[in-house]
Amino acid sequence: MSIRRIWVVASNVFREVIRDRIFYLLGLFALLLVIASRLLPEVANITAEKMLVDLGLGAIAFLGLVVTLFVGTGLINKEIEKRTVFLLISKPLSRAELIMGKHLGLSAVIAVLIGAMGLMYGLLLHSYGINVDVQQLGITLLFLLLELSLLNAFALLFGVSTSSLLATLLTLAVYITGHLSQDVVKLARLTENEGLQQSVQGLYLVLPDLSQFNFRNDVVYGLVPDTNTLLATAAYGIAYTVLLLLLSSFIFSRKEF
């Protein structure tokens, strides 16, 4: 596997997504923040600051999710539909390198997008005199990137296996299930149905627990996750992402066109 070839694919994906004017989302994000900063003090004066902090982080997560869902699931399918995949795989480029490069390129786009929105968000909070720990904010955005990178790997996995529409729906289902999995497990334990409990526990072990990457409440309430928790969560996310990319590469390598 060549790092250079992966880097070339990733660079092309990065430029292509930018040409699709994906960064118009930054303008939408800025507009949402300005509107929220004007309306929230009138609606809830006492808790307006915490609501603005939470809303801003939620908007960053939502817009990052939108890019992952609608761009990530089409990265491979678009090449197949345009028949450009034949040109790519006819070169000294393996299918695994194509998968890795696509994932790296979109992850880079998401990283730049999150970083830009985070900077705009931090400047707005500073202009309103709202104090937020920069380290906590950075940790929150970093783990949001890890979460979306993991979801990007799911999008690629479904993208090489199904149509773009179905891949989008399946990736969204993984996102929703991943954030509700702990609550579902707790509810299942309240029942006396052992079969249901085992099924839910099995699903919990197979699907990622995306709620582990959510530190937005920690920023709002000034809580600092301990180092061991952060390292364990990061290792979990990276390992899961690598596993999904390997599985995607395996499936794609056996796909006939």
Reported as a single tens digit per residue, the pLDDT across 132-174 is 778 888 888 999 999 999 999 999 999 888 888 888 899 998 8
pTM score of the predicted model: 0.86
Given this model, what pLDDT does residue 28 score?
A: 82
What residues make up the domain containing 124? 3-253
Given this model, what pLDDT does residue 202 score?
A: 61
Q: Which residue has the tokens 């300005």?
A: 34
**Measured CA angle at 212 (ends 241, 155), to 5 deg:** 35
Specify the number of domains making up the chain: 1
Q: Which of 32, 37, 30, 63 is nearest to 144 (CA)?
A: 63
Given this model, what pLDDT does residue 77 score?
A: 77
Measured between alpha carbons, how far is 18 from 41 in angstroms, rounded to an integer?
35
Highest-confidence range of 39-53, 112-126, 188-202, by mean pLDDT?
A: 112-126
Asked if residue 213 lies in contact with residue 137, where contact means CB atoms within 8 angstroms, the answer is no
pLDDT at 85 over 60: yes
Distances in whole angstroms, Cα of residue 52 to Cα of each of 7, 46, 175, 212? 38, 12, 24, 23
Reported as a single tens digit per residue, the pLDDT across 21-30 is 777 888 888 8
| pLDDT band at residue 180 under the 50/70/90 scheme | confident
pLDDT at 189 over 70: no
Asked if residue 149 lies in contact with residue 234, where contact means CB atoms within 8 angstroms, the answer is no
Reported as a single tens digit per residue, the pLDDT across 46-76 is 566 677 777 888 889 998 999 898 888 888 8
Given this model, what pLDDT does residue 244 score?
A: 93
